[in-house]
A and B are shown apart, each in its own frame.
Chain A
Amino acid sequence: MDIFTQQLINGLVLGSIYALVALGYTMVYGILELINFAHGEVTMIGAMVALTVIGVVMGAAPDLPGLMMVAAGLLVAIPACMALAFGIEKVAYRPLRRAPRLAPLITAIGVSIILQNLAMLVWGRQYISFPPILPHNQHEFLGAHITDLQIFIVLISLLTMAILVLLVEKTRLGRAMRATAQSKEVAELMGVNVDRVISATFVIGAAIAAVAGVMVSAYYGLAHYYMGFMLGLKAFSAAVLGGIGNIAGAMLGGLLLGVIEALGAGYIGDLTGGFLGSHYQDVFAFFVLILVLVFRPSGLLGERVAHRA
Chain B
Amino acid sequence: MAMTLLRVQGLCVAYGGIQAVRGIDFEVAEGELVCLIGANGAGKSSTLKGLMGLVRPQGEIWFAGERLHRLATHAIVARGLAMVPEGRGIFGRLTVAENLEMGAYLRRDRDGIRADIARAYDLFERLAERRGQLAGTLSGGEQQMLAIARAMMGRPRLLLLDEPSMGLAPLMVQKIHQTIASIASEGVTILLVEQNAHMALALSHRAYVMESGVMTLSGAAAELRGNADLRAAYLGE
Contacts and interface: CB of A to CB of B under 8 A. Distances in A.
B92 A176 contact: no
B165 interface: no
A179 B77 contact: no
A175 interface: yes
A99 interface: no
B114 to A, nearest CB: 15
A178 B54 contact: no
Nearest to A169: B98
A178 B93 contact: yes
Contacts of A186: 85, 89-91
A187 B101 CA distance: 12
B73 interface: yes
A138 interface: no
A183 B91 contact: yes
A221 B78 CA distance: 51
Contacts of B78: 191
| Range for the number of chain A residues in contact with chain B | 10 to 19
A250 interface: no
B67 to A, nearest CB: 19
Interface string A170-185: 0010011011001101
Interface size classification for chain B: 20 to 34
Contact of A185 (B54, B90, B93, B105): B54
A170 B105 CA distance: 14
Given A182-B91, A186-B85, A191 B105 contact: yes
B91 A188 contact: no
B118 interface: no
A127 B117 CA distance: 58
B105 A172 contact: yes
A186 B99 CA distance: 11
B182 to A, nearest CB: 22
Q: Give the one of A187, A190, A192, A194 with max B CB within 10 A.
A: A190
A187 B77 CA distance: 11
B94 A191 contact: no
A192 B94 contact: no
Given A186-B91, A188-B73, A179 B54 contact: no
A1 interface: no
Given A185-B89, A193-B72, A175 B94 contact: yes
B85 A182 contact: no
Given A182-B93, A185-B54, A175 B101 contact: yes
Interface of B: 52, 54, 72-74, 77-78, 82-83, 85, 89-94, 98, 101-103, 105-106, 150, 154
The 4 closest A-B pairs by CB, nearest first: A191-B106, A188-B73, A191-B77, A186-B89
